[in-house]
Structure 1
Amino acid sequence: MELKAYLSEEFDLEIGRFEAEGLLAAVLRLAGPHFYNAGLRDAQALLMRHVDDVNDGIDQLERRPEA
């Protein structure tokens, strides 16, 4: 498992498979919402850009009264 190897190499810490899985689960539980919310914000920004493009296209199609 890569997490076990990382902890061993970087911190000279030997842990078992179950401890590594528990640590990974805790990190995902704590950090997961941050990355999930960041993904939602990215999706929202992308959608807003597309909405702006559609609005620009509609504005270009709009007819103006002749002077």
Structure 2
Amino acid sequence: MTIELPKEARQQAIASIERYFEENMEQRIGNIAAGALLGFFLEEVGPSIYNQAVADAQERLQMRVTELDIEVHEDEFQYWRKYDKKGKGR
């Protein structure tokens, strides 16, 4: 699966790579080279990040499903209890 960024996000990522090189590597990287580097990371490292995000989401959803019975539990056979409480108060 190829990970693709929306056009604006890709442009921002490229600008961020260019800035990183200027500030941390003390050299400039061109727009084309920054785009190629971004493409490399999306193809090489992106799937690992994506897979971890999917695993995190699955774990979170599984926890929510496990708690579902507690969260939405309704006591059963409650009809007569409301009448029993009224009768005791007389």
- TM-score, normalization by structure 2: 0.55
Distance 1:52 1:61, change over 3 A: farther
Residue 14, structure 1, aligned to residue 58, structure 2 = no
Cα RMSD after superposing both structures: 2.3
Q: Could you list the runs of 5+ residues in structure 2 that have no partner in the other structure?
A: 1-14, 77-90
Distance 1:24 1:34, change over 3 A: same
List, as ranges, runs of 4+ consecutive aligned residues in structure 1 with deviation greater than 3 Å.
Answer: none
Percent identical among aligned pairs is 30
Distance 1:17 1:47, change over 3 A: same
> How far apart are the structure 2 equivalents of 1:18 and 1:5?
14
Return the letter of the residue paired with 1:53.
E
- Structure 1 position 55, deviation (Å): 4.6
> How far apart are the structure 1 equivalents of 2:75 and 2:49?
39
Equivalences for 1:1-67 in 2 at 5 Å? 1-56=15-70
Greater relative contact order (Cα < 8 A, sep 6+)? 2
- TM-score, normalization by structure 1: 0.70
What SS is found at the alignment partner of 2:52? Answer: helix
- Structure 1 position 5, deviation (Å): 1.8
Structure of higher CA gyration radius: 2
- Structure 1 position 32, deviation (Å): 0.7
Instruction: Report which of the two has the higher share of helix.
Output: 1
